[in-house]
Amino acid sequence: DVKVTQSSRYLVKRTGEKVFLECVQDMDHENMFWYRQDPGLGLRLIYFSYDVKMKEKGDIPEGYSVSREKKERFSLILESASTNQTSMYLCASSQTRNTIYFGEGSWLTVV
């Protein structure tokens, strides 16, 4: 089975802190994604990556950055967390032209 692992399920951070959300996949997938999910808004794509050290902006990249130093790992970075970034963050991976598989999500609260 495909496994997408988000190491932190629940985080509470203070405004202005730098936040790292880590994601690892075990299927040698080329593509990795970060979405955020908010009630009534569904899932929105923040960033994606189709290769190591490559990244592309999604629909809502403002306030976020990403890092992909190794094929299996894709990190989402909030340089200076703000309360409007309180949300559920979902990591996903896929092989091109195939199904996207999701992790279980990371609940981030910024206070």
Number of residues in contact with other proteins under rule CB under 8 A: 29
The answer to whether residue 45 forms part of the interface with other proteins (CB under 8 A) is yes
Q: Which of 25, 31, 85, 87 binds other proteins (CB under 8 A)?
A: 31
Q: Which of residues 62-91 bind other proteins (CB under 8 A)?
A: 90
* CA-angle at 10, arms to 21 and 59, nearest 5°: 45
Within 10 angstroms of residue 14's Cβ, the number of other Cβ atoms is: 9
Listed ranges 18-26, 28-36, 60-68, 69-77: which one lies at the site for other proteins (CB under 8 A): 28-36
* Beta-sheet pairing, 106-110 with 10-13: parallel
d(CA 84, CA 102): 23
Q: With respect to other proteins, which residue has the nearer C-beta, 21 or 103?
A: 103
